[in-house]
Structure 1
């Protein structure tokens, strides 16, 4: 035991050393009610405790003593980390004392500033304490839930104190107990001596939260309500989310039947977001992607921003289920008839068979999500539309975003295309070239025998040389070697025909200048026509046309153009010439008709072998 020090005597601190306690300071006092609270240290264990003393000599009534005695009776049976433990009682020289566990925390009556997330944590912690009290049989009703009786540490540990007005079980308050409580925090049923329920303490907690949210001191809480006990939420509507305002309205409703039934129900309905709700801004509401090659992996980015200070945007991405998309359980393996084995399994809502998000779940106020589309699972030449769903803790919790994907054309169609522009260009080029060149052939004396046949031989000879020149140029241009070889063969045939034609036609001699001009024009025509036809054949091969079809179509079209140019330039109109043009046109038409038939067969084969395993639009 120790004797009181000079400082204890100077500040009027009592001496509880014979009871095993050393008083350190006075925490609070209600002199008129004879109640004083001290901070003390247990002499043996050195632990800090709180001692509440009821002083008989200074009290004008015994209400304080009864409250302290009742508080001790209630605390004896309570074991919860949010309620300081009851440690015992003792009688002092001038009063009755109760000892309770000390918590290094401050009451909410002390002016402090709490952020939205901190207030939410305080609300949940208080509800958890009330759930514990109300789960007891019979339930414990605190009856004095207010800022002064809620302690909060720097780490947001919450403690409920002062059970002096608490009662076990519900029922009417009784005329002698009407004043037990604090005006502004007592529900109307407590004020008007009506039956108390488990919802009664929720009113005091709700008004305490209102004081924190509006920075209203406890003694001015009356400014928040009107004469009908309705709380004015006008000043909070710009700061609190609608869900939190609705929750608080039920907590402080003056009508008992409009309040939450108990703390457990109130806790279950606490909004799953902070008091202030983020506002999400999405960079785009429609996404359009186009694939140029089958199996392309398409990627785009979408940015989410939140401009509400003091809030954190959280959420995840999902794809709204579509009847064409396969859904498999985790670990299952899709069959080939449904999807290829490389498909990503859609199992938990965030994963999808051909749409992926990176990241699928996010947290932050400026988030960029990569959206990846795997078109290898999709049919070619189709348009797919799916709805993406952004679920977040924002005021608008669900944001739908349309995703449209145009897949690449079918490889057969894309590679071949249509031959008509190429053939049309080749026909026109040959026609105009031959027509212009034949119009430059020198006039000859028709009286000379076989002079026309002689010029024809020279033209054929020049054309053969021109085709060979064309083959050399194409070879130097590093085009497909078969093209150059074809032109070389055509040129060789043309040159080889000159000698037999000379004997067959019994050609006459002509002047050297005319022969040179005619041969030169033939060379120019052969070179131009040979290059054009070679380029056309090469273009056909690049589009995966069969070689025989490409060569046949090109040469027949080239021959048709030459015939039309000769007919127009030399004014030929013999029946044999007309018959040759008709036969040529029939050959070209037959090949053109064969093309779509062949393509349709290839498409049918492709769909039968490939697209049965793909996802439909």
Structure 2
């Protein structure tokens, strides 16, 4: 149930610059609208609106501040952020990403995505996580990696959206100010009195892979290895997921770059398996053709002898 009083209609103008087209998303305390530039109608924006009286507005301001400092092809670009004249609402204007969320795509495909596609998506996620985790002087911990926060474009590229609970890492801090995350994908330390760090996002990446390859199961709940749900996965992929979802951060793969190495190795194993299957198929086809050819010769000889 909505806990806000945000109601914008088609044709409403914000800041004399952005014209509302339609609502495209909604949460408990915020709403996202598709808008166009008043002076350049072909230029589209996604505008997230939050009630300034709600705590979400502080998170939205934090999101705007973090994203305004970033520049990566897998992150939406920030155009503007401002509050309404009466200070009642806060607006975040960002690049409109045309496509669908990974969650929507997954559901539309009956909760099945092939290994090659999952690996390709996760390699892209490794690149953007490496970018965030390598920020100086403070790494950025995303903390909410899940299918609903990953946009899939028409070219099958990804965009990581919704930095509402992202934070800058502070070394030697005992615990996070706010214990928060999405159950099913969040690392254990996000709900315990510990500090999240770059390895927290890597747990979520492993949980995401598990979810996509298991047909929508959560590693928290099943407590089964991924091969229980998807047989004959490459060894490197099974090992990668197994290590990423360790409860102890010290036992996980430690960097996004290392995860990418595992996934690149998986790509090679999948390609090798595909080539092997292709060669096997060609060999079988050749064998079957030879048999039919031989049968044809026998039939021809028998027919010729019969009519002499």
1:105 counterpart = 2:106 = no
Q: Which residue of 2 aligns with 1:26?
A: 23
Partners of 1:173 and 1:39 in 2: CA distance = 37
CA RMSD across the alignment: 2.7
Q: Which residue of 1 aligns with 2:46?
A: 50
Cα distance, 1:162 vs structure 2: 0.8
Cα distance, 1:200 vs structure 2: 0.8
Match of 2:237 among 244, 247, 272: 244
Contact 1:172 1:196 in 2 (8 A): no
Q: Which residue of 2 aligns with 1:185?
A: 185
Partners of 2:60 and 2:19 in 1: CA distance = 21
Query: Deviation above 6 Å: which 4+ runs of structure 1?
Result: none
- Aligned with 2:40: secondary structure? coil
CA 1:257 to 1:11, structure 2 compared with 1: closer, same or farther past 3 Å? closer
Match of 1:96 among 90, 98, 102: 90
- Aligned with 2:263: secondary structure? coil
Partners of 1:14 and 1:203 in 2: CA distance = 43
Cα distance, 1:116 vs structure 2: 2.0
Q: Does 1 or 2 have the higher relative contact order (CA < 8 Å, sep 6+)?
A: 2
Contact 1:19 1:90 in 2 (8 A): no
Match of 1:79 among 71, 81, 87: 71
- Aligned with 2:49: secondary structure? strand
1:312 counterpart = 2:307 = no
Contact 1:120 1:275 in 2 (8 A): no
Partners of 1:191 and 1:16 in 2: CA distance = 41
Contact 1:225 1:231 in 2 (8 A): no
Deviations 1:28-78 (A, max 9, x none): 1124x2x1111111122331111010124xx6xx32011101001100110
Moved more, 238-247 or 180-189: 238-247
Deviations 1:500-545 (A, max 9, x none): xxxxxxxxxxxxxxxxxxxxxxxxxxxxxxxxxxxxxxxxxxxxxx
Aligned residues between the structures: 266
1:121 counterpart = 2:157 = no
Consecutive unaligned residues in structure 2, runs of 5 or more: 1-6, 284-308
Alignment of 1:198-209 (within 5 A): 198-209=198-209
Partners of 2:247 and 2:234 in 1: CA distance = 22
Contact 2:20 2:35 in 1 (8 A): yes
Partners of 1:99 and 1:11 in 2: CA distance = 15
CA 1:276 to 1:116, structure 2 compared with 1: closer, same or farther past 3 Å? farther
Match of 1:265 among 233, 255, 258: 258
Contact 1:250 1:258 in 2 (8 A): yes
Deviations 1:62-117 (A, max 9, x none): 32011101001100110000000111112225411010111112111212333221
CA 1:274 to 1:71, structure 2 compared with 1: closer, same or farther past 3 Å? same
CA 1:365 to 1:164, structure 2 compared with 1: closer, same or farther past 3 Å? farther
Q: Which residue of 2 aligns with 1:38?
A: 33
Cα distance, 1:154 vs structure 2: 2.9
Partners of 1:54 and 1:41 in 2: CA distance = 19
Consecutive unaligned residues in structure 1, runs of 5 or more: 1-9, 281-310, 316-362, 369-617
Q: Which residue of 2 aligns with 1:511?
A: none
Deviations 1:246-274 (A, max 9, x none): 11111211121111111112112225234
Alignment of 1:197-596 (within 5 A): 197-216=197-216, 221-222=217-218, 224-226=219-221, 230-274=223-267, 277=270, 312-313=274-275, 366=281
Structure with the greater alpha carbon radius of gyration: 1
